[in-house]
Amino acid sequence: MKPDIKEIAYRLYEEYMSEEFEVFDKEMTVGSPVNVGSVYFTVLNKKPVHYLVLRKISDKYYECLKLSSFYEFATHYDIFYHLSLEHQSYIIQTDVNFYLNEDEIKNSVLLEELPEDYFDELQKFVELPEDTKLGYKGILRQGFYYPVGNKWVRAFKEKEIQIVKDYHLRIFEILDEIESTYDNIVNLPPERIENYRLSLVASTEKKTALGKNFVLYKEPEHDFINVIVSPDFLGKNIKVFLQDEKIYEGRLEDVVIAIKVKDAATVDLEKLAKDIKVEEEQ
């Protein structure tokens, strides 16, 4: 029987990850300001972790993507990258994200910065709706396996997520932190927003849309759609309607009214803006 190459690779991966790593020599760390768009190395839960700092997501935390040298398991969520310093190919796993604070990153080893055009394209890829990533065409080299299409690929992904699970779950702390900065929050039930989902044939996914006396701005990483109201309304009592339903009422002390929406990335802002009305309470 022909050996399963994926099984052989997975057994090697298991053997490698079974070792426990101690914290490395702090003299190797940089201690300099966090460099978004750079690859670092650290030890988390006694496991070696290469990661990319993708963006600053709150006052305290940065979103990071885990890298792996086991590129044999690359799915269509993964992007190939050659780490020059180590002369080694890696995959950047856009579906294995986690969150580190500034001190944790400063106590990591800075390896190298991604080329600007490569990092810009990677950021665009991360923002693509999930159902369009498989058909991506661009400068990035993408994996091709479905995560659930091969049991060894699936087992690898589960293991990778487990390594950074504690740091991934910080998202709940981050969301609490972000929500505490908003004075005006509107929670819409999922069924209320379903008619405003982007269709599969939508050509572009815009992050802003213009209304009569407001601008909509999408924060997909936080699942917020912000209604940025004209400053003329500051200090006044206003009402906000979605179609004929009142979704907000109160004295406006901040021009931002945050609408909490599940899967905000998939909302068609232009369609939503047409059905939102902001008016002063008489």
* pTM score, whole prediction: 0.68
Q: What are the tens digits of pLDDT across the range 149-177?
A: 688 999 999 999 999 999 998 887 876 77
CA distance 20 to 97: 22
Q: What is the CATH number of domain 5-176?
A: 2.30.30.110
Helix (H) / strand (E) element for 8: namely: helix 5-17
Which tens digit of pLDDT belongs to each residue from 213-226? 888 988 877 788 98
Sheet holding 256-260, edge to edge: 185-187, 256-260, 224-229, 214-219, 208-210
Question: What pLDDT does 42 receive?
Answer: 94
CATH 2.30.30.110 domain range(s) in the chain: 5-176
Helices in 100-209 by DSSP H: which ranges? 102-106, 116-127, 151-163, 165-168, 171-179, 190-193
Confidence at residue 19, expressed as pLDDT on a 0 to 100 scale: 86
